[in-house]
Amino acid sequence: MTEQYQASPAKGSVLVTGASSGIGDAISRALLEEGFTVYAVARRTERMQALAQQGAHVMALDIADGDSIARLVKTLSDDGVVLEGLVNNAGYGSYGVLEEVPIEEARRQFEVNVFGLMALTQALLPSMRQHGRGRIVNIGSMAGRLWMPVGGWYHATKFALEALSDALRVELRPFGIKVSLVQPGMIRSEWADIARASLEEDTAGTPYARIKRGMSRVLADQRQDGEPEQIARVVLHALTAARPRRRYLLPLHAKILVGLHWLLPTWLYERCVRALLARQGASTRDGRS
């Protein structure tokens, strides 16, 4: 049975990162429609004009830049903004085999997906603690619950967010602040195109060309399985429910894949992954099973 999520009558101010497209845009629109005051932030403010026309407060933020975070927090403080919620949605996936991904790119993914997210959260928490309430919703991924080749660094950032969200939830409970983690599967957005771009560059001549092409096709086949609006609905629930869930895993394919990863022994899960890539035209020979 499909769950219905409805916002409570009391509306407050919510900050949404990565609001210029995809899931962040859908979350911001859903919150505005429910009567929340929305602070929509992203690097590309020119892409948020429609949100501004709908009533959002559009602000610039580079989540990987400490100075940018400090400016944003100071502006909110100077304007007397009291946030009821923080939706940490900003993030990206850059795929590549582990031998070939420059360490600088790996660090960049951690800066955006982990360290920047936590730096913003740290900066906003004192105000939430002072007021004795608040909701933090971290947008993770099913990638934090399973793994695929060619996405090792991205999976690593989402695995890290799993642990951070759990620890944060327990640490903040005495202060009336609730923490939830949303774990989307493949959602229709720019994410898959961005992830695929790095796989399709300079594949000729690399020993990993076939596995990279295979993973690119997997991403292409699955990129429209879910809708951003599905994520927006569960974020509304996490922000308003008296007892929000610790985790929200969706849509159905994400539940199936995570369930299989949990159920199957590692060797069998690995064999399934290799078979999937082989069907997409990739050679995954690695010697022994």
19 lies in a domain?
Answer: yes
32 lies in a domain?
Answer: yes
| Sequence letter at residue 43 | R
190 lies in a domain?
Answer: yes
Catalytic residue among 154, 208, 248, 269: 154
pLDDT the model gives residue 226:
80
Closest CA to 154 of 211, 198, 123: 198
29 lies in a domain?
Answer: yes
CA distance 276 to 218: 8
87 lies in a domain?
Answer: yes
Which domain does 229 fall in, by range?
13-279
Q: What is the mean pLDDT of residues 121-128?
A: 97
285 lies in a domain?
Answer: no
pLDDT the model gives residue 279:
83
130-154 pLDDT, tens digit per residue, is 999 999 999 999 999 999 999 999 9
DSSP state of 84: E
Cβ atoms of 90 and 18 closer than 8 Å: yes
Please give the tally of structural domains in the chain. Answer: 1
**224 vs 119, higher pLDDT:** 119
Reduced 3-state DSSP string for 152-217: HHHHHHHHHHHHHHHHHHHHHHHHCEEEEEEEECCECCCHHHHHHHHHHCCCCCCCCHHHHHHHHH
CA distance 265 to 12: 45
Burial of 277 (0-12, 13-18, 19+ CB in 10 A): buried
Clarify whether 208 is annotated catalytic: no
80-103 pLDDT, tens digit per residue, is 999 999 999 999 988 999 999 999
Phi, psi at residue 128, to the nearest 5°? -60, -45
12-42 pLDDT, tens digit per residue, is 999 999 999 999 999 999 999 999 999 999 9
Q: What is the mean pLDDT of residues 119-131?
A: 97
Q: Is a pLDDT exceeding 50 seen at residue 1?
A: no
Q: What is the mean pLDDT of residues 199-218?
A: 78
For residue 208, give the CATH number of its domain.
3.40.50.720
CA distance 170 to 235: 20
289 lies in a domain?
Answer: no
177 lies in a domain?
Answer: yes
